[in-house]
Amino acid sequence: MSLKHSYTLISPFYDAALTAATRAQRARSLAGLPSTPARVLLSGVGTGLDLPLLPQQHSYTGIDLTHAMLRRAMPRAAQLDFCCVQGDAQRLPFADRSFDHVILHLILAVLPNPFACLEETARVLVPGGSVLIFDKFLQTGQWAPLRRLVNPMVRRVATRLDVVFEELLDKTPQLVMESDQPALAAGWFRLIRLKRV
Ligand SMILES: C[S@@+](CC[C@H](N)C(=O)[O-])C[C@H]1O[C@@H](n2cnc3c(N)ncnc32)[C@H](O)[C@@H]1O
């Protein structure tokens, strides 16, 4: 089953499972957006759980692979300058330096190739732009046997459980760490802010 197919099946239940559990951490992450108007990309925007938390002065683009997820996002953007695109976060259909900030909430650990997503994020960002990440990552060298055991099954239908963020960042020298804070589940979920150099 492809991720597009599985997220089509998951879409009616996604909000019930994720809204309350993630709202406070989303708000913490999005507080990193500046006050001056900017172009902001939400990569893997999903059902748009971030949208009601976004300030109105920016222009927003949301991209997602799954039409059923995007369809749920649209009504949440009524108060925003928002457009959405169906496409692949690993091969963004945008020109170099088209955005000032990129939001990667619960997408890097989902993708088969998170490195490509981070590279594409760096490509479409202006120098000085920022990346706001909220996701689950293993620490370098962390054993996590249960997560590694079930990973081959769940990675095909929902998310990977074996992504080590530092390994991605090492391969993306255009992006540098600005902050890294524990979020949920004893630091399995993290709030990370990167800067495009
Ligand atoms: C766990 S959900 C996260 C959605 C949203 N960012 C959030 O924070 O709730 C993962 C999303 O990634 C999307 N997705 C999966 N593969 C993708 C890809 N290659 N490119 C863009 N989106 C993708 C899925 O359709 C789904 O909407």
Across all residues in the chain, what is the average pLDDT?
96
Q: Ligand 1 centroid to 159 CA: how many Å?
A: 9
**What is the pLDDT at residue 37?**
97
Name the residue range of residue 163's domain.
3-196
CB 134 within 8 A of CB 110: no
Q: Given CA atoms 54, 109, 124, 68 in this order, what sign does their dihedral have?
A: negative
Please check the confidence at residue 102 and state whether its pLDDT lies above 90.
Answer: yes
Split into its structural domains, the chain has a count of: 1
Q: Is the pLDDT of residue 1 over 80?
A: no
Give the residue, by CA position, lying nearest to ligand 1 atom 13: 44
Contact (Cβ atoms closer than 8 angstroms) between residue 44 and residue 89: yes
> Which ligand 1 atom is at minimum distance from the Cα of 69?
27
pLDDT(151) > 90: no
φ/ψ (deg, to 5) at 186: 55, 35
> pLDDT tens digits for 133-150?
999 999 888 888 898 998
Question: What amino acid is encoded at 85 in this protein?
Answer: V
Ligand 1, pocket-test mutation among 3, 163, 189, most atoms within 8 A of CB: 3
Mean pLDDT of 101-111: 97
| CATH, residue 137 | 3.40.50.150
